[in-house]
Each structure stands twice: as C-alpha cells, then as structure tokens.
A and B are shown apart, each in its own frame.
Chain A
Amino acid sequence: MTRRELLRGIGALAAVTAAGCTPLKFLLDPHPSSYRNLPDKLDTTLRAFVVTIIPGAPADDPNLVRVYSDDYYPFTKFATFFANDLDTRSRRLYGNTVFASLSQAQREFVVKDGLSSDATMVKLYKAAIYAAKASFYGGIYDISKGCKLIDFQGSNWGFSDDEMFYPNAKQYFARELTCTGNYQ
C-alpha cells in the first residue's frame, strides 16, 4: 500500500467516523469477544430485545429472532455487536446487569438510550426494531402459523361466507354513482 492509498483509507474512515460518530470498534470488530461463539447467549439477549419491542410476543417462539441470523438480511453481520451494545448500555445504566436480566421497563429504557445515541447506532437500533416487527407480525418464517398476537391466521384455504361477508350487506352501502363500477 502506498502512502497515498494509506492516507486515503484513513481519510475515508475518519470521514465516516466524523459523520456518524461511529464507534471505531464497530467498524473494526462487529463480533465482540463477549458474544463470539456463544450462540445461546446471543439468542437470549435478542429474544429479550424482541419481547421488549413487542410485549406479548411469545419468548419461546422458535422463529422469534431468526431474522437476526438469516444471511439473507444484512443485519446478520451486526447482530453480535448489537447484542453486546445492549449489554454495555444495560451495565452502564443498571449496575452491571445484562440486558436479558432487566425488567421490561428497564429494557425499554436501554433501547431508548440506544435510539438517542449517535447516528450510526440509531440506524442500527431502528433496523433491529424494524426487523423484529416485520418478521414477527408478518410470520415470515412460518406462514402456516401466522401471528396469533394480532389474530393473523396465516395461510389458509379460504374463509367461510360468514367470515368474509355481512349478510344483507347492502343495508350499509352508500349510493352508487355508476351502473358498472366504471366512472364515465
């Protein structure tokens, strides 16, 4: 690497860091040692995060945090960093207690703390919240189950007339402007 290339590289990194106050550690090591090779710990923390975002989501749902380890989605490579950040904030705010051991209210406070930090971390937290909601409510990993919390039945063979329609629905209809449904 030439001196010019080195300077350009450092300059680019500095620009990113300055623009987003990005923790350099995040850029250099997205897999902190506290979570490396500890999939159960990661799973526990991420489950605690999802039930914080969606109170009432079943913590033992096998697909609850699958979106964070699915290589199809870019968040995967930041999952361990994110979980570590949750713990770091928890320890700072609640006396050395990890995120998964906090109460719902305390966990909410930790997530709010993440959402009020620097631009890059805010983006990471928002992405994590987005993934949790889309994955859980959408039932993306098991459409046959849907999402019971919001009464989403998932895949089906159609509904009965009673489920789909009102008998004598016409009583609720507004007047029609057209004879065919097409406006002239």
Chain B
Amino acid sequence: MKTIRTEALVIGSGFGAAAPALRMAESGIEVLMIEKGPDIKPDRDFKQTSDPKYLLKYLKSTSTDSIGFTYAEGLGGGSGFYEMVSLRAPSNVFDLTDETGRKYWPSSLTRSVFDPFYDRAEQMVNVEQIGDDEIPKTGVVFSLMMKNLGYSCDRARYAVKGCVGSGFCVSGCVFGAKQSLHMNYLPQATAAGMKVLTDLEAIRIEPTRYEEEYLGSSRENEHYRYAVICKNTVSGEELRIVAHIVILGGGTVGTAKTLLRSREQMPYLSKHVGKNIAFNGSIKAAAILPDSFIDGDMLSGRSHPGMISYEFFDSHGMTVFAVKPLPLDVASTAHLYYEDENRDPKTWGAASVEVMKLYRRRMIILCALGLTRPSASFVQTGEDTFEPRLELSDEIRSYYKHGKELLHSIFTRNGCRVLVPQFVNGEGTEFADIHITTTHMIGSCRMSDSKKHGVCDYNGEVFDYPGLYISDGAAIPTSLAVNSSLTILANAERIGSHLAVKYGRRKITYNSNLYQIDMAK
C-alpha cells in the first residue's frame, strides 16, 4: 500500500474542516486535505436542475423508520448546497443541561467565547443580514402572519453576495453568489500551501508510535502518530497517510463512521462515539393562504425566505421560519392534502393537483427548529454498514405534538386552510409514525469536560489520543434551534486557531479572545 506523509491531515472539506485547514496552513504547518466526494468547481460543476442523478451525486442520505440524515459529499461539503442561512446559536443553547443538570457543552464554552469566532467566520463567508428590500415574497407573507398575531419576526442572515434570486440555491449556485467554501477558505488554504486529494475516503485510523514515520521536527509530549487508511472511491485503491496531527472534519456522519471503524485499533476511544446526536427537532407544516392574503412565491428569490421568528425561543425552545422547497422536494417528500379533504383519492388525482396548483403562490410551509435532546445515534451494523437510530420517546412525541399545534395555530388564526403532509420514504410509502429528516444532525462525537460524557475535549482533541482532533458538527453537543452551519464553522475556527497556536511555526498573538496569526513572522 502506498504511503503519503504529512504533518497535518484534514479529513473532510466542509464547514468543520476548511477553517482548521486554513489556519494551520497559514501558520506554516504542512497540510493535506482529503475529501471522500468528488472535486467541485462551482463554475464547472454546479447546475440548475432537479435531476436526482445530479443531486444524488453530491447529496447522500441514510435513514431508518424514525430518523434520516441528509449530508453532502464533495469538495466544500455542505457549503455548496445549503441555503446560506448563517445564524449564531442563542446564548441559552450553551447552557443546556442533561437530565442530571450537567452542562452538555464544556463548562467554559459560552456564546461570548464563540462570538469572536462567529465574527471571523462571518467575515470569511460574507454573512450579512438581509435588507428590508430583499425579502422574498414568501418571507414577507410569513412576517405578515406573525404581525397579525402580535408576534415578532426578524430578518435572517446569509452568506451571499450578489444574489439574483434564481431559487436554485440547493443545487449549487451557478452565479457564484453563494459564498461557499470554494470562494474563501479552500482557495486561501491552497494558496497557503495546503494540498487536496478528492475521491478519497478515510476508512480507519491506526495510532502508531513509530517515530521514523514522522518527518517533522521533534516536539515534546507528542508521542502519538496516526496512520489513516484511505480508499479511493473511484478506483478502490487503498492508500496510507501518516500524519502527526489528524483533524476529523468529515461531518457528523463521516467522522462517526471513521471512528466506529477504528475501534479495534483505538481501544481507548470514548464509548460515546456515534451517540448523543442532536437533530434540531425539525417540524414542518403546510397550509393554503386565505384569499385575503398577499401572494407568496415559492420559486422566485433565494431558497430561504429571509425571515425567522425567535418569538417562541424562550417559551418553547423553538425558532420558526418559512421554507421554499422546489417542486421536486415537495413531491418526493410528502403527499399534501387538505386536513378536511373528503374526496377519495386525496394524495393523487384531482384533489392532489388542485393543491399543487396552489403551491407556488398560495401555499405556505413553516418549519420549527427546536432544542430536542441529543438522543439519536449512528450505529455500525456490519463491516461497512451504518444506520441512524432514534427511539421516539414520550418527550420527543410531546415536542412534535406541541410544535405541530403551534404551527397549526399560526395558520388557523391567520385564516389558512391546513394541509396534511403525509411524509413518504424513497419508495413512496407513508411512514407509519413520526419520521424526522434533518440536515442539522450534530454531536455524534461530542466535546465535553470529560471522557465520561464525550469523545473530545474543549479544543476538539480526542480523549486519550493526543494530536487527533474533531472540528466538525460531530463535536457540537446540542441542538441549536437555528441552522447549524455557522456554529460549526465558528467552532472549527476556534479549534483551528488553537491548532495554529499549538503547532504553528509562525508567531501567533492573542487578541480579544481571538488568536491572531502574524503572517509577517
């Protein structure tokens, strides 16, 4: 098997990987990044399409009866395909506790610790609050619904510059407006010397103590080295990468897979690998607007409608916003029919077509994200087979019942006619019970104050495996009640800054809670 040696290996290329890669490369560390999915050049590869063959090349999912995770595989990870919503997690999120009163997050991590790193992440991906005059019509409709009920609604924040509003954000922006990692972190890291290999999956990690495998300078207290066994996803060829520092940044699913496959070689890994996954409690509900209401538009303008309501965050632990799914997303996710529909059939035929004809301008779909406990898991079921699991506890059932009632209440008090979204699997068969699908799964290898409760520490370093770090969504311990990308990126910036200080060759200064790298040194 061919062996490549590098000082730092970064596994993954998305929000959790790109920041540490850049900060290490900037600080003079030799960095190699590997990505399981294909290379992506936005101007070459992104398309406006609903063709599943294209979408499924990059967007993957894993699902069982109660829960399904969707994630991206390709250079830049999810940054090419998300809706650009970039919000900070509310302060209370960092104080969440488990049933025993223990804080989920490491005790010294708070929003104020995160804020400087949120600042830096926002600068890097050009996050700005949407302007009054840029709110898509569906967002205006949502805000009006909230206004009618005396509730608040805020303009959200996005990583975008020069949006033309084509509405195809999630198939990759062909206009170069979305500030995906291809526009900032990745080229900057490459310019700083980082090398990238795509179509290469990290299969497992093997700690090695052979000093001769390491070509860097000798350092004190650095006894562990890692050999990462990789497989080319196109040719099947195996490759061994030996590194002094390994950063796991392949996402909640990818990082859990790599560590679960490494258990035999890494017997001291925490028992929490693959567990405690938070899923942001996504609840969706749909309705048709009354005639008195202004039109929305599901298709014009950016994919996210621009507005979010924090009205219920303190009372319910939920945020609420409208969504603008493309027709394929609607048709492939659920059968929609009126709650009071008497016709048979409801889910196809004339009744179904009538609803779909109203989809563009008269349908409103609301989504609530909430602070559901980190109770899902990702389990290895065979040599290379994994599946997500979630027990639908009374607490989860109650959360979904009350969340749905809240959304329906917003609809009915605005005079809307409520629709039933009968969610279906990939074969068109209805789920028998609650089925949660999320792109916000986080925490499969969470950080914690001790190995008893988590997999890695405050700095993302895996307990009992010095030099092995987790910097992606897998490390985030709780639901956030907002889109997770900015928090993952800010945490990755925080860990990246720590790595630059600890291992970098250029002088690092510390200023206002934020590590500053002095590039002149």
Cross-interface CB contact of B348 among A129, A169, A178, cutoff 8 Å: A129
Stretch from A34-42, A49-57, A86-94 forming part of the interface with B? A49-57
Residue in B147, B175, B429 whose CB lies within 8 Å of A123:
B429
Q: Are A165's CB and B90's CB within 8 A?
A: no
**Which of B130, B332, B349 contacts A55, CB < 8 Å?**
B349
In angstroms, Cα B352 to Cα A108, docked, is 13
What are the residues of chain A within 8 A of B331 when measuring CB–CB?
Answer: 133-134, 136-138
Q: B428 to A126, Cβ gap below 8 A?
A: yes
CB pair A140 B50 closer than 8 Å: yes
The reply to whether A164 and B345 form a contact with Cβ atoms under 8 Å apart is no
- In the bound complex, do residue B300 and residue A140 qualify as a contact, i.e. CB atoms below 8 Å apart? no
Is A152 a contact partner of B152 (Cβ separation < 8 A)? Answer: no
Closest 5 CB pairs of A and B: A130-B428, A158-B164, A138-B328, A174-B147, A174-B153
Contact check, B132 vs A170: say whether CB atoms are below 8 A apart: yes
**What per-residue 1/0 map shows which CB atoms of B421-434 lie under 8 Å from chain A?**
00010011100000
B228 interface residue (CB < 8 Å to A): no
Does B359 reach chain A (CB closer than 8 Å)?
Answer: yes
With contact pairs A166-B140, A181-B129 given, residues A157 and B164 touching in the complex (Cβ less than 8 Å): yes
In the complex, what's the smallest C-beta–C-beta distance from A121 to chain B, in angstroms?
13
The answer to the question of A102 belonging to the interface, with a C-beta cut-off of 8 Å to chain B, is no
On A, residues with C-beta under 8 Å from B are 52-56, 72, 108, 111-112, 123, 126-134, 136-141, 143, 146-147, 149-159, 163-166, 169-170, 172-178, 180-184
Please name the residue on chain B nearest to A160 by beta carbon. B300
State which size class the interface on B falls in: 35 or more
- Say yes or no: B166 contacts A127, CB within 8 Å: no
Contact B50 A159 (CB under 8 A): no
CB atoms of A177 and B154 under 8 A apart: yes
Contact A143 B356 (CB under 8 A): no
A-B residue pairs in contact (CB < 8 Å), sample of 10: A55-B350, A133-B332, A133-B352, A138-B328, A143-B51, A165-B134, A173-B147, A174-B146, A181-B154, A183-B319
Indicate if the CB atoms of B427 and A123 lie closer than 8 Å: yes
A130 vs B294: C-alpha distance when bound (angstroms): 31
Q: Is B137 an interface residue (CB 8 A)?
A: yes
Q: Are A130 and B332 in contact (CB under 8 A)?
A: yes
CB neighbours (8 Å) of A180 from chain B are: 129, 157
Cβ-defined contact, A159 with B300, below 8 A:
yes
Least Cβ–Cβ distance between A104 and chain B, in angstroms = 9
- Which chain B residues lie closer than 8 Å to A151 at the CB level? 299, 357, 360-361
Q: Which residue of A lies closest to B145 (CB)?
A: A174
Query: How many Å from the CB of A50 to the closest CB on chain B?
Result: 10
B22 within 8 A of A: no
Partner of B144, one of A139, A165, A172: A172
Residue of A nearest to B301 (CB): A164
CA distance A152 to B360 in the complex (A): 8
Chain A residue at smallest Cβ distance from B310: A183
Inter-chain contact B428/A131, CB cutoff 8 Å: yes
Contacts of A154 in B (CB 8 A): 48
**Selected contact of A165 from candidates B135, B309, B428, CB within 8 Å:** B135
Closest residue of chain A to B428 (Cβ to Cβ) is A130
- State in angstroms the CA–CA spacing of A2 and B99 once bound together: 57
Q: Chain B residues near A159 (CB, 8 Å)?
A: 164-167, 300-301
Contact A181 B155 (CB under 8 A): yes
Chain B contacts for A184, CB-based, 8 A: 90-91, 111
Task: Give the residues in chain B near A149, CB-CB below 8 Å.
Answer: 353, 356-357
